[in-house]
Every structure is written in structure tokens, then in C-alpha cells.
């Protein structure tokens, strides 16, 4: 038989060893010395030798090095997590307030209730609050907290060590996601002193991290996460902690169970804060239910400014003695209530699907919607990404669709409301011709998701997008040149970016957009001319982005200026020379080379030079390669077999555009053999040479991991 002490000794060692491994293999930031680690490992093996029943397949003794996968075993919560009663009307809060008052005035004291719940509970040995029952509590009666749209978890600290991280599950039993919880750096792995406590809280993704994640998903042609909660759940429920670690998960505590001896919940939060457990800065103690309503209104207005998604406000009785007195129903605590904001999803009619053309000719569909107010702004358009996404969601013209805001500002169509279909809905077909210039659209390569307009020089839509790109913050940062100015410029003033730097007052006044009522050049137009002059001497990497060279965004632009002293040297470089640069593969090298060979592009450069645009690099060879952060930087990868999500071409581009090199044969210098179905002789060769073999899933995880 295992006694509790031995079991705990083992759990503590496992926790420490796994934390060490995550710090070492995933964060690349060891927290223990090799010696400490070896000693723990030795101690663990010794303990498991004495008590073989301790050994599970998840024990570090059964796994080597970076094997840290999460198994999602069902584990009972030491004390139960309750859910909260949701209300949607402010009036219901008055009922709640009356019930609280009734209890606080009542003479009945519920003795020795041992409570626990998703938001708060305590086992208080000494009853320190005898007096609090007899007087009405008005000072700091309620604690208001924003309700985060994330995933509830229970962190179990034993003797101050974080030994388990569990999802909420059904409140009684959760899933073991401990190793993924260990990757969340803001969660302390050890508390001061020696305490047994359960910290409840929310794991979530900030809006910006949610958007980044969905952009990555989009680039990898993976389904997008519908909302930050799904994304947080998906990120925490990863088998490989490395993936969880890459997702930038955050945590705020909102409850506790165990040995905490305080009179107010807000004091417990202060204690947590001292311990380094993250607490939301938006929590507020108020005196009356009216003040709580004001808090709800205040954050209802400011909802879009909060850095993470919220769906309501939780109001809790702040006094812990009174919490105990109020107790629980079978399902919920009587001392807390959740007010839910109106959903940030709305139904609307999909009136039409149209397409737009990007600066490199990519044609993307977007939805024209019956305008609807959503999270405080009117939405009448939403991107649909590509034809495959429309097909996957089965969205048809005429459908009533569910519209929501993903993250901060981007409206997104979740899907159709199928039961409202009446048979008149139309399945969308991508156009065969460019909606702007009428050129026949093409797939550039087999297996591409996007159709493109090949008329790169004369397509008006592409020109507008190139002007917008040129003015964007990452390029020349010309604030006075927004979307509307760009449209006006391209309408009748310029027909290529070639003459952009020659723009003058006379040219601008040809379009009414730049002229004010008294017939003079508008203030914005004069500002535009001044900003164009200033842009002439901005850094070379910005100019490279402004030229709209295919594939050249901020990463490649910075890489190029470190290897070439000026634009002429870069323009003269052959593809082999370009591909020699670590981080630039043959595909991208060829695309850069081709761009400079085109006489129309040479004309742009000549014309810009004549207008006084400088093309020297100040950062040439300074700080060599230091700030280039591509996930596959410096890796040589050999793909083989049939991949599920990539064609032969697209895998090449994906590897190269993430900084890796693709070769066709396996050698000692190969970092990874990426295998799909029916991988043949290359696999055998890789095994002989000891080259690491990865699956498509592992490859995608590699892409998602921080460089
Ligand atoms: Zn076109």
C-alpha cells in the first residue's frame, strides 16, 4: 500500500522534473542546474524502485528528454467546482441583492459549511466572523469581476508546489493538462511557505494573440478558431506542450479552495497578487448593488477596449463569512451571480458575395451583409478568406448567417442558420474573370487555394492595393495616404507607382477628392505632399516593402538590407547569390531576382531615384542576422511522401518563406525528414544516418513554435 506521504513525495518530484524539462526544452531557459535535475531524477527512480505501484506511463522515468506529451487523464478535483447562475436582465440583480440582505439579517448561522466552487470557497477552521452576521454589511459589500471568455482551470498546489493543472470538466472530474499549464509562464510553480490550496481561474488568449493565431491558421490553410475561448481550449488541450507554449496563453485567478484564512475575498486576491498569481486589474469592490450595475454599464461600454474578450460581469459577496452563510444550491453558489452582456453574435442576411483583388493579384471573396450593430459598431462586410472556406462552412448567398467579432475588430461569419433556409439560397461561384480589369483568373500553381489576376501591371485594383501597401506603417508610413486617397490617386492621377514621388499640387488638384470647397488644395493633400517628400529618405528595408516585391515583407526586407549595401547590388544579385543567404530559399530568391529583371520595375526604380529617393542601407552587416526570427531559420528539410495539407510546391514555399531550406536528398546535413504517406527510401536513409524524422503535424507545430 502506498501511503499518502510517499504518493505526495512522488508527485512533487514529478512536478519538479517536468517543470525543469519544460524550462529547458521549451522555454530554453533552465531553472535548475544539471546537478539538481540529476539528483531529482535519481530520487524519483529510487522511490519508484521501492514503490513500483507509483510508476505510470506519464512518469518522467518512462519518458526521455523532451517527451512531455499531455495525456488528458480524468482526475477528480480535490474539491468541487460549481458553475454560476447567469442572468441577462439588470432587474434580476435586485432579487439577488434582496436574498443576500435576507441572509445577512438572518440570525441563522449555518455552522461549519465546507464549501468549494469555481469562484470561491474556504475551509476555515476558526470561525473568525461571528460578529459579521449580526450587522448589515454595506462597506465593500460586493466584488465585481469581468467574466473572461476563456477556459476554467483548477491549479492544485500541494505543500506549495503546483502539482496538478486540471480543466474544469464537469466540476467533479477534470482533465489533466498539467504539463501544458507548466508552460504558462505567468503561473507560479511554487508558492511561498507550505500551503495546500486550489487556485481556480481562467486560461485565455488576449485578443491580439487570438488574431495572430488565426492568421497562422489561415496561412496554413487550417480552420480558423471561432472565438478566443475555443482557441484557448484548443491551445490548452494540445498533446505537445511545445504547441501550448507557443500560443501565449494568459491566466487570471478568480477563486480558491483550501487553507486560506481571510475575511474578504478581495483580501485573498491581494494575497494571491503578493504570491505572484495573476489577478485581473479590473476587479473592483463596491458598496451597493447599484454600484455593481454601474460597473456593468461602464464595462459594457468599454468592452471593446479590454485586451481580452469578456462576456459579462461576475458579482460576488465579498465577505467570506456571509458567503458561507449563503452557501450553495445543488448546482450554484447563492453568493455569486453572473450578469451576461448581450451576445456579441448576431444574425444577419448575407446579401451577396463579392471579390476583391490584392496587391499581388490574389482574389479573395467577401460578404456583403445587411448592416448590423455588433459590439458597438456597424458591420456590413466580412471577409470569407477563400472559396474553400465558403464551401467548408456551406455559406450561400441569401442565407441568414451568424456574425461575430473575432478578437477585437474583425467581423467573421460563423456559418449559416440552416433552419432558416427556404430553398432560394444560391451557391457561390468564384468568378472566372478579374472583377477589376476583366483578365482571366488563374491558379498560379496546382493546389493553390487562391485564384489570381495575372494582369499585374494594368489591373486597377492591384494598383490601388500597391499604393495602400506603399503607404502602410510597415512600408513608408505615409499617414495622410489612406484607402480613400489611394483610390482617388489611382482614379485619374497615377497609373503606376512609378511616378509616385513626382506627385505635385497640380496633379493632385486633378481629383476633387484633394480639393476643398474654395477650389484650393485641401489640408490633407498638402500634408500628403509633405509626407511624400519625407518618405524619400526612409530606410532601405521600408523601400523594399514599398516596391511590392512578391514575398518581401518586413522579415525578408530586413534580411536583405543586412546582406546588400544598396539597392543596385541587390538588383544585380543572381538567384544563387540570394539563396546563399541563410533564411532565403531558392523559391523566394528566384522571385526577387525575377522582379528586378522586369524592365517596368527597373523603370520604377529609375524614376524614384530621379525624384531623389535614396536606396542605401545603413544597417548593412551591422547586427548581423540578430533580429531575424523565422521559425525554420537555418534548418534544412527534406519533404517526402504524400502530405495531407501541402502540395509539392506549397510545402517548398512554406518551408522557404519560414526561413528553411529544401533539398531533395537526405544527407548528414539534413535537419529533418518530413514524411507524408508512402514515404519510401528516404525514410530508410534518414534512419541509417540518424536524421530526425517528423510528421506533417510535427512540422506544423514547428512552424507555430517561436523561433
Ligand atoms: Zn485584374
Radius of gyration of the chain (CA): 30
Which residues partner with 369 through β-bridges?
350
**CA 493, CA 139: separation in Å to the nearest integer?**
67
Q: Are residues 349 and 338 in the same domain?
A: no
Q: Are residues 661 and 689 in the same domain?
A: yes
**What was the pLDDT predicted at 369?**
95
Which three cell numbers, joined as nine digits, stand for 248?
501565449
Q: The domain that contains 489 carries what CATH number?
A: 1.10.150.20
Cα(363) to centroid(ligand 1), Å: 9
Domain membership of residue 619 (yes or no) is: no
Domain membership of residue 395 (yes or no) is: yes
Q: Are residues 246 and 361 in the same domain?
A: no
Domain membership of residue 436 (yes or no) is: no
The residue ranges of DSSP E strands in 377-472, in sequence order, are 377-383, 396-397, 400-406, 410-416, 426-427, 442-443, 451-452
**What was the pLDDT predicted at 221?**
61
* Nearest in space to 403 (alpha carbons), one of 419, 417, 421, 389: 417
Q: Which of 324, 342, 360 is the last residue of a domain?
A: 342
Burial of 215 (C-beta count, 10 Å sphere; 0-12/13-18/19+): exposed
Q: How many CB atoms lie within 10 A of CB 674?
A: 24
φ and ψ of 469, to 5 deg: -65, -45
**CA 635, CA 692: separation in Å to the nearest integer?**
12
Which three cell numbers, joined as nine digits, stand for 612?
531623389
Angle between helices 483-492 and 460-471 (to 10 degrees): 130
Burial of 224 (C-beta count, 10 Å sphere; 0-12/13-18/19+): middle
Cα(452) to centroid(ligand 1), Å: 8
Q: Which of 68, 94, 126 is the last residue of a domain?
A: 68
Q: Are residues 97 and 237 in the same domain?
A: yes
Domain membership of residue 454 (yes or no) is: no
Catalytic residue among 12, 147, 207, 316: 147
**What was the pLDDT predicted at 539?**
92
Which three cell numbers, joined as nine digits, stand for 679?
514515404
SS3 letters across 259-277? CCCCCEHHHHHHHHHHHCC
Domain membership of residue 8 (yes or no) is: yes
Which three cell numbers, joined as nine digits, stand for 242?
511545445
Q: Are residues 32 and 78 in the same domain?
A: no
Identify residues whose C-beta is under 5 A from ligand 1, the ion: 434, 436-437, 439, 453, 455, 459
- Placement of cell 512533487 in the chain: 12
Domain membership of residue 216 (yes or no) is: yes
Q: Are residues 402 and 468 in the same domain?
A: no
- Structural domain count of the chain: 6
**What was the pLDDT predicted at 700?**
79
Q: Are strands 173-175 and 74-76 parallel, antiparallel or unpaired?
A: antiparallel
Measure Cα distances from 253 to 155, 188, 257 in Å: 10, 12, 12
Which three cell numbers, joined as nine digits, stand for 429?
461561384
**What was the pLDDT predicted at 164?**
92
Q: Are residues 604 and 669 in the same domain?
A: no
665 touches 638 (CB < 8 A): yes
Cα(490) to centroid(ligand 1), Å: 14
Cα(388) to centroid(ligand 1), Å: 21
**CA 11, CA 158: separation in Å to the nearest integer?**
9
Q: The domain that contains 671 carries what CATH number?
A: 3.40.50.10190
Domain membership of residue 615 (yes or no) is: no
301 touches 320 (CB < 8 A): no
Give me the torsion for CA of 12, 17, 23, 25, rounded to 10°: -150
Q: Are residues 111 and 204 in the same domain?
A: yes
The residue ranges of DSSP E strands in 553-701, in sequence order, are 636-640, 661-662, 672-675, 692-695
Q: How many CB atoms lie within 10 A of CB 519?
A: 8
> Is 302 tagged catalytic?
no
640 touches 665 (CB < 8 A): no
Which three cell numbers, joined as nine digits, stand for 412?
467573421
Which three cell numbers, joined as nine digits, stand for 355?
471579390
Cα(622) to centroid(ligand 1), Å: 41
Domain membership of residue 623 (yes or no) is: no
Coil vs helix vs strand at 319: strand
φ and ψ of 701, to 5 deg: -65, -35
Cα(361) to centroid(ligand 1), Å: 7
pLDDT digits over 529-555, tens only? 999 999 999 999 999 999 998 878 877
Q: Are residues 150 and 280 in the same domain?
A: yes
Coil vs helix vs strand at 377: strand
Helix (H) or strand (E) holding 34: helix 34-50
Cα(451) to centroid(ligand 1), Å: 11
**What was the pLDDT predicted at 119?**
40
Q: Are residues 130 and 250 in the same domain?
A: yes
Q: The domain that contains 406 carries what CATH number?
A: 2.40.50.140
Which residues partner with 582 through β-bridges?
none
- Residues whose CB falls within 8 Å of the CB of residue 306, separated by 6 or more in sequence, listed in order: 146, 282, 299
Q: The domain that contains 29 carries what CATH number?
A: 1.10.287.610
* Nearest in space to 492 (alpha carbons), one of 479, 470, 508: 508
Classify residue 222 by its DSSP letter.
P
45 touches 51 (CB < 8 A): no
Q: Which of 68, 91, 116 is the last residue of a domain?
A: 68
Which residues partner with 662 through β-bridges?
637
151 touches 167 (CB < 8 A): yes
Which residues of the chain fall below pLDDT 50?
107-137, 407-408, 621-627, 707
Cα(437) to centroid(ligand 1), Å: 4
Alpha helices in 314-355 (DSSP H): 320-326
Helix (H) or strand (E) holding 460: helix 460-471
Cα(368) to centroid(ligand 1), Å: 21
Total residue count of the chain as it appears in this document: 707
Coil vs helix vs strand at 640: strand
Q: Are residues 240 and 129 in the same domain?
A: yes
pLDDT digits over 651-693, tens only? 887 787 777 888 888 888 898 999 988 888 888 888 888 888 8
Cα(63) to centroid(ligand 1), Å: 56
* Nearest in space to 323 (alpha carbons), one of 270, 265, 284, 268: 265
Domain residues for 371? 345-427
* Nearest in space to 152 (alpha carbons), one of 177, 173, 169: 169
φ and ψ of 373, to 5 deg: -85, 130
φ and ψ of 597, to 5 deg: -75, -25
Q: Are residues 389 and 320 in the same domain?
A: no
Coil vs helix vs strand at 561: helix
Amino acid at each position: 500500500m502506498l501511503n499518502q506521504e510517499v504518493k505526495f513525495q512522488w508527485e512533487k518530484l514529478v512536478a519538479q522534473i517536468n517543470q525543469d524539462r519544460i524550462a529547458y526544452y521549451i522555454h530554453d531557459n533552465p531553472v535548475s542546474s544539471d546537478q539538481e535535475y540529476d539528483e531529482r531524477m535519481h530520487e524519483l527512480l529510487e522511490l519508484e524502485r521501492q514503490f513500483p505501484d507509483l510508476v505510470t506511463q506519464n512518469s518522467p522515468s518512462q519518458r526521455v528528454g523532451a517527451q512531455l506529451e499531455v495525456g488528458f487523464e480524468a482526475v477528480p478535483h480535490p474539491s468541487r467546482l460549481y458553475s454560476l447562475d447567469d442572468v441577462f436582465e439588470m432587474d434580476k440583480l435586485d432579487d439577488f441583492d434582496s436574498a443576500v440582505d435576507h441572509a445577512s439579517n438572518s440570525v441563522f448561522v449555518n455552522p461549519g459549511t465546507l464549501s468549494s466552487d469555481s469562484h470561491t470557497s474556504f475551509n476555515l477552521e476558526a470561525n473568525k466572523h461571528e460578529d459579521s452576521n449580526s450587522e448589515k454589511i454595506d462597506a465593500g459589500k460586493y466584488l465585481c469581476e469581468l467574466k473572461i471568455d476563456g477556459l476554467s482551470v483548477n491549479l492544485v498546489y500541494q505543500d506549495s508546489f503546483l502539482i496538478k493543472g486540471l480543466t474544469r470538466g464537469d466540476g467533479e472530474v477534470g482533465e489533466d493538462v498539467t504539463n501544458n499549464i507548466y508552460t504558462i509562464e505567468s503561473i507560479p510553480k511554487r508558492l511561498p511557505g507550505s500551503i495546500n490550496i486550489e487556485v481556480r481561474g481562467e486560461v485565455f488568449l488576449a485578443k491580439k494573440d487570438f488574431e495572430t493565431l488565426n492568421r497562422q491558421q489561415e496561412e496554413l490553410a487550417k480552420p480558423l478558431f471561432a472565438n478566443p475561448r475555443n482557441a484557448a481550449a484548443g491551445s490548452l488541450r494540445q498533446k505537445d506542450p511545445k504547441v501550448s507554449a507557443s500560443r501565449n496563453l494568459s491566466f487570471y485567478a478568480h477563486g480558491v479552495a483550501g487553507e486560506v484564512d481571510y475575511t474578504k475575498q478581495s483580501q485573498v486576491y491581494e494575497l494571491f497578487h503578493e504570491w505572484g498569481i495573476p489577478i485581473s486589474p479590473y476587479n473592483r469592490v463596491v458598496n451597493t448593488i447599484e454600484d455593481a450595475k454601474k460597473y456593468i454599464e461602464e464595462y459594457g461600454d468599454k468592452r471593446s477596449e479590454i485586451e481580452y474578450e469578456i462576456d459579462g460581469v461576475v458579482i460576488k459577496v465579498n465577505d467570506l463569512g456571509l458567503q458561507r452563510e449563503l452557501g450553495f444550491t445543488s448546482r450554484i453558489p447563492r453568493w455569486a451571480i453572473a450578469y451576461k452582456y448581450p451576445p456579441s453574435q448576431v444574425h444577419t442576411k448575407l446579401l451577396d458575395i463579392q471579390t476583391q483583388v490584392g496587391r499581388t493579384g490574389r482574389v479573395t471573396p467577401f460578404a456583403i451583409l445587411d448592416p448590423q450593430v455588433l459590439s458597438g459598431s456597424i458591420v456590413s462586410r466580412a471577409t470569407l478568406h477563400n472559396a474553400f472556406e465558403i464551401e467548408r462552412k456551406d455559406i450561400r448567398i441569401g442565407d441568414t448567417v451568424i456574425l461575430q467579432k473575432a478578437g477585437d475588430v474583425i467581423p467573421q461569419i460563423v456559418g449559416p442558420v440552416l433552419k432558416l433556409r427556404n430553398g432560394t439560397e444560391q451557391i457561390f461561384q468564384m468568378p472566372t474573370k478579374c472583377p477589376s480589369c476583366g483578365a482571366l483568373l488563374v491558379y498560379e500553381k496546382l493546389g493553390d487555394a487562391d485564384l489570381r489576376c495575372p494582369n499585374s501591371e494594368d489591373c486597377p485594383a492591384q494598383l490601388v492595393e500597391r499604393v495602400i501597401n506603399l503607404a502602410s506603417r510597415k512600408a513608408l508610413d505615409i499617414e495622410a495616404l489612406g484607402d480613400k486617397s489611394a483610390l482617388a490617386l489611382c482614379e485619374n492621377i497615377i497609373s503606376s507607382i512609378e511616378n509616385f514621388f513626382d506627385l505635385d499640387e497640380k496633379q493632385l488638384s486633378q481629383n476633387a477628392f484633394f480639393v476643398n470647397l474654395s477650389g484650393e488644395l485641401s489640408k490633407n493633400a498638402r500634408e500628403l505632399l509633405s509626407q511624400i517628400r519625407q518618405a524619400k529618405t526612409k530606410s532601405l528595408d521600408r523601400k523594399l516593402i514599398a516596391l511590392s516585391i512578391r514575398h518581401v515583407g518586413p522579415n525578408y526586407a530586413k534580411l536583405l538590407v543586412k546582406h546588400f549595401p544598396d539597392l543596385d547590388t541587390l538588383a544585380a544579385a543572381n538567384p544563387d547569390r540570394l539563396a546563399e543567404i541563410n533564411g532565403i530559399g531558392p523559391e523566394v530568391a528566384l522571385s526577387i531576382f525575377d522582379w528586378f529583371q522586369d524592365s517596368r520595375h527597373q523603370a520604377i526604380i529609375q524614376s524614384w531615384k530621379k525624384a531623389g529617393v535614396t536606396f542605401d542601407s545603413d544597417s548593412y552587416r551591422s547586427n548581423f542576422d540578430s533580429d531575424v526570427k523565422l521559425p525554420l531559420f537555418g534548418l534544412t528539410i527534406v519533404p517526402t511522401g504524400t502530405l495531407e495539407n501541402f502540395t509539392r510546391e506549397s510545402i517548398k514555399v512554406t518551408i522557404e518563406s519560414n526561413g528553411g531550406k529544401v533539398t531533395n536528398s537526405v544527407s548528414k546535413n539534413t535537419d529533418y525528414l518530413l514524411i507524408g504517406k508512402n514515404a519510401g527510401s528516404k525514410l530508410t536513409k534518414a534512419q541509417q544516418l540518424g536524421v530526425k524524422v517528423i510528421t506533417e503535424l510535427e512540422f506544423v507545430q514547428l512552424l507555430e513554435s517561436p523561433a
